[in-house]
Structure 1
Amino acid sequence: MSTSAGWERPRTSLHTDHYELTMLQAALHSGAAHRKSVFEAFARRLPDGRRYGVVAGTGRILEGLADFRFGPAELEFLERTGVVDSLTLDYLENFSFSGDIWGYQEGETYFPNSPLLIVESTFAEACILETYILSVLNHDSAIASAASRMVSAAGSRPCIEMGSRRTHEEAAVGAARSAVIAGFNSTSNLEAGLRYGLKTVGTAAHSFTLLHDSEREAFAAQIAALGPGTSLLVDTYDVETGVRTAVDLAGDALGAVRLDSGDLVAQAQWVRRLLDDLGNVNTKIVVTSDLDEFAIAALQSAPVDSYGVGTSLVTGSGAPTASMVYKLVSRQDKDGTFIPVAKAAKNKTSMGGRKYALRKLNERGIATHELVGIGHRPEDDGNDRQLLHHFVKNGEVLPGWTGPEAVEKARRRHRASLAELPGVVKRMQRGEPAIPTVYEEI
């Protein structure tokens, strides 16, 4: 399994809920634990007003699958606290996933009820993966979905992920990875850079300027250490003075100035004029300060060169979870045949049966709807696209779906997937999903 050198994956088996293991225990006692089963992860709806979602996190799930084991420390904890009995402990001691996993490629757009991840295995194996799968998919897909909207609003201007300090340290790595999949140019998170080969960037905060006796002294120190092509934060005191000092010290080789407060549209406009008047026509303007997709869209008319996005991105820009669920949709009967199963609650409907998904495209290559076959593969009329990929076969993760390679592959998939959707997906206004999901039964 591909990961960058220098990083060791943590064990993932106890990243789960108590009741996953008590269900396992009860199923072992009833004899049903080893029934072949099919579980499916999907979202019943998109966040209110969103037109599409973006799949992310699959690669992290597959990386964690290799370490979903119960070693001495985990088994001792479960025994000491009485979570499960000796029969279940014996099962867990030898646990390793031996089934198959299919799903949408990372970076793919999705819609309500898209079968994003399908786990085929025994009930026991699929059951205890539930919480781990959902925690990663819900977080990473929420970030990727928000990031995609921000990148769309930014147009050709690059976006920088810089939200690590606004979320859990491990979630920050997943957020950086998800943002890059959805089109962000780089991240400030070094751990994400190590694990996934992401481009990392960063220069200095206000504290660096405040540390020195003057802004001039701080800028001079930064230029001496990082070169004149660095980006100088010019709004610690007075912006105009900051810009003039930066140009005086770095000359026309100054890489960029960063604006982090105030009316960013008006400020960027007059800072651009000032830079040009001073001869720094190639010095770029970077803006930060609690940006989201709407603030980025409002800056389209401003002479901004790139955006640094933090809090709004790592919290999903108002949708911190993708609201995905993981449901048993089919299981083997006593005679060996598979039967569809589904919860019957009126407000939480699920469709039983193993799913197969196809993106239907018109003669111009634009998506018209998502066609989901129940128990069979929908027919491709020649220019449609199959959405499900085989990630794990007989417990072995197939090549190409983990590590830095998977991130770059996902970036390409996202660009292509977004390009085939109707143009309405670029609008920031609230609306219905860009294409409908249609079920096809035998």
Structure 2
Amino acid sequence: MSTLRPALLTDHYELTMVSAALRDGTADRRCVFEVFSRRLPAGRRYGVVAGTVRLMELIRDFRFDEAEVDFLRRTGVVDEPAAEWLRNYRFTGDIDGYAEGELFFPNSPILTVCGTFAECVVLETLVLSVLNHDSAVAAAAARMVTAARGRTLIEMGSRRAHEGAAVAAARAAYLAGFRFTSNLEAGRRYGVPTAGTAAHAFTLLHDDERAAFASQVATLGKDTTLLVDTYDISQGIRNAIAVAGTDLRAIRIDSGDLAVIAQQSRELLDSLGATETKIIVSGDLDEYAIAALAAEPVDMYGAGTAVVTGSGAPTVGLVYKLVEVDGRPVVKRSEQKATIGGRKVAVRRHKPTGTATEEVIVPQGVPDRQPNDRMLQRSYLVGGEAVELPTLDESREHLRQCLISIPWEGLKLSAGDPAIPVTVVPAD
């Protein structure tokens, strides 16, 4: 559970709007905001909803203490009526959205926030910060899981991200199907299994490679992974087996032409009798590098920079837009950033075999249901109170099932159309 106080993780203009709305009497108008993406990042065929449960926990703790209100008042961000309103702030509205782990496409209404204008608008920055980051990591990680074809993936990108983002990224990667993370706080906070053994520094610390390996095995046993590329890889493998024996669990290679080195390493391990010793590779791996190793004797991948930065798409472009005021649809009409007015619901259509065929988005109400349709939105908060939230493992399984359901074409790493078409039904 995060101890972070989230209230000031907010853009300045959210609070100036609150001040003005309180002054002119519009702050209490009933509003609906929707979170959606106008398009997927270049080259992507689907998005992955991630961070929703984490967001609900942050909204629960979204309060302004006296020191924060004093800062806002002293610096002129808010006037005194707004400062008093912030002292008593608590979100009392409703939030519905796609399940965490759900796939999304252009215009998918992945989160719907309902309440007064003031209590909803102040959440905009936090909502987008969490969902854009976590969904970007989860989408990249899901593509890596597909490329790995069932082989184990370890998230090890903490040193390439902000310390807070690293924890969220580890959670999102696990949701997407990674098996382990190197980040201990993600293990403590979210229950993500952790893994890790030693870096090159540990080998360099010792007088020779064998001494380093002997120390590691003496401490961790043979069920460990020895990093064999500090010096010469072939000699490193020989030293590893000489020290640990043929029942060493794994070796790790972090540099070089991994395809060639993996083949040579497998041959050498087998010739030494270590036929069950696994090969783990790491070193700037993304989904394309992982896919290129599909035919090689690699048992496990360690991914760092690419996964925690969204593998070239560090945000998924989600926006938070007002679509309804006092039951009346409102529309932004600018040419490049138009919105679709009114609250919407969505269904995913499937063949009897379970393959998804289409996403249909309709104005609020009961959609024209067909056999094998699945409603996409669920309640997260009702009257400001949390509905039972899914566990991380449940969200992880939900995504696994979603990826099974989309056509094979939609899992390709090459650029193309979204995995399924999206139809937006206009209001009457």
TM-score bucket (shorter structure): over 0.9
Residues 97-246 of structure 1: matches in 2 within 5 Å?
97-246=91-240
Q: Does 1:437 align with 2:422?
A: yes
**Which residue of the partner structure matches residue 273 of structure 1?**
267
**Which residue of the partner structure matches residue 422 of structure 1?**
407
| Residues 411 and 419, structure 2, Cα contact 8 Å, conserved in 1 | no
Shift of 1:93: 0.3
TM-score calculated relative to the size of structure 1: 0.95
| Residues 153 and 426, structure 1, Cα contact 8 Å, conserved in 2 | no
| Residues 34 and 321, structure 2, Cα contact 8 Å, conserved in 1 | yes
Shift of 1:400: 2.4
Shift of 1:129: 0.1
**Which residue of the partner structure matches residue 61 of structure 2?**
67
Letter in 2 for 1:72: E
Quick one: distance in 2 between partners of 1:439 and 1:376? 14
Residues 359-398 of structure 1: matches in 2 within 5 Å?
359-398=348-387
| Residues 55 and 104, structure 1, Cα contact 8 Å, conserved in 2 | yes
Shift of 1:368: 1.1
| Residues 183 and 411, structure 1, Cα contact 8 Å, conserved in 2 | yes
Deviations 1:409-438 (A, max 9, x none): 110110111111111122111111111111
1:40 to 24, 34, 40: 34
Quick one: distance in 2 between partners of 1:377 and 1:206? 59
Deviations 1:40-92 (A, max 9, x none): 00010001121101000101110101110000111111111111010000000
Quick one: distance in 2 between partners of 1:225 and 1:178? 31
Quick one: distance in 1 between partners of 2:73 and 2:218? 59
Q: Considering only aligned residues, what root-mean-square deviation do their CA atoms show, in Å?
A: 0.9
Letter in 1 for 2:97: G
Count of residues in correspondence between the two structures: 427
Letter in 1 for 2:341: G
**Which residue of the partner structure matches residue 250 of structure 1?**
244
| Residues 342 and 351, structure 1, Cα contact 8 Å, conserved in 2 | yes
Quick one: distance in 1 between partners of 2:407 and 2:61? 40
**Which residue of the partner structure matches residue 49 of structure 2?**
55
Letter in 1 for 2:20: A
Quick one: distance in 1 between partners of 2:366 and 2:71? 44
Quick one: distance in 1 between partners of 2:277 and 2:63? 52
Quick one: distance in 1 between partners of 2:411 and 2:52? 25
| Residues 357 and 377, structure 1, Cα contact 8 Å, conserved in 2 | no
| Residues 137 and 314, structure 2, Cα contact 8 Å, conserved in 1 | yes
Quick one: distance in 1 between partners of 2:418 and 2:65? 44
Letter in 2 for 1:373: V
Q: Does 1:21 align with 2:15?
A: yes
**Which residue of the partner structure matches residue 280 of structure 2?**
286
The structure 1 segments of at least 4 consecutive aligned residues displaced by more than 4 Å after TM superposition are none
| Residues 9 and 64, structure 1, Cα contact 8 Å, conserved in 2 | no
Shift of 1:33: 0.4
Residues 295-310 of structure 1: matches in 2 within 5 Å?
295-310=289-304
Quick one: distance in 2 between partners of 1:9 and 1:392? 20
- Give SS of 1:252's match: coil
- Give SS of 1:213's match: coil
- Give SS of 1:318's match: coil
| Residues 41 and 327, structure 1, Cα contact 8 Å, conserved in 2 | yes
2:346 to 315, 340, 357: 357
Quick one: distance in 2 between partners of 1:201 and 1:408? 18
Residues 323-362 of structure 1: matches in 2 within 5 Å?
323-332=317-326, 338-362=327-351
Q: Does 1:92 align with 2:86?
A: yes
| Residues 142 and 316, structure 1, Cα contact 8 Å, conserved in 2 | yes
| Residues 53 and 389, structure 2, Cα contact 8 Å, conserved in 1 | no
Quick one: distance in 2 between partners of 1:302 and 1:56? 31
Quick one: distance in 2 between partners of 1:239 and 1:117? 50
Quick one: distance in 1 between partners of 2:282 and 2:335? 45
Quick one: distance in 2 between partners of 1:417 and 1:279? 42
Deviations 1:204-224 (A, max 9, x none): 111111111111111111111
- Give SS of 1:253's match: coil
